[in-house]
Amino acid sequence: LKKTTDYVEQNEKLEEAQAESNAKLAQHDLQNQIKIIIEERQPHILRTITEVSTRLGFALASWRRLRELKPAIRRALVNLIIESNYQSKKDCRQLQELMLNTYEWNLLDKLIELFKPI
């Protein structure tokens, strides 16, 4: 009889624990539903706003670095022009094709000035 009473008590405790657990799950589910409803009512802001700022900052830093390297690039071009071996001539042609002309350097300076942070 004592064992039966112990089993009944243990069973009641398990049922209470299960009911408590179910109540917590229901409350958690309700909180999630409320959170979803709130998020749906928020205005949708596109993430690209921050990405554009980051990309623009990266481009600006790259343009500034290119402007700093302008004298070194010109020196490298002059040195390649002086060289007479085949590989140097080939490198010289490639660099001349990639080299910015005066108009492009001026445009780069204006872009740097235009996009610098306020």
Q: What is the mean pLDDT of residues 89-108?
A: 94
Same structural domain, 24 and 57: no
Q: What is the arithmetic mean of pLDDT over 16-29? A: 79
* Distance of alpha carbon 59 from the chain centroid: 14
pLDDT at 11: 81
Summary mean pLDDT of the chain = 82
Task: Specify the range with the lowest mean pLDDT, choosing from 8-17, 24-33, 92-101.
Answer: 24-33
9/56 same-domain check: no
Q: Which two tokens stand for residue 61?
A: 């830093």
End-to-end Cα spacing for the chain? 86
- Choose between 31 and 96: higher pLDDT: 96
> What is the pLDDT, as a whole number, of residue 48?
47
State the residue range of the domain holding 35: 1-44
The secondary structure of the chain in percent helix, strand, coil, rounded to multiples of 5, reads 85, 0, 15
**52 and 15 within one domain:** no
Q: Residue 20 pLDDT > 60, yes or no?
A: yes
Nearest to 91 by CA among 100, 102, 65, 83: 83
Shared domain check, 52 and 40? no
Are 99 and 77 contacting, i.e. CB atoms less than 8 angstroms apart?
A: yes
- Assess whether 61 and 108 both reside in one domain: yes
Residues 57, 26 share a domain: no
Indicate the number of domains in the chain: 2
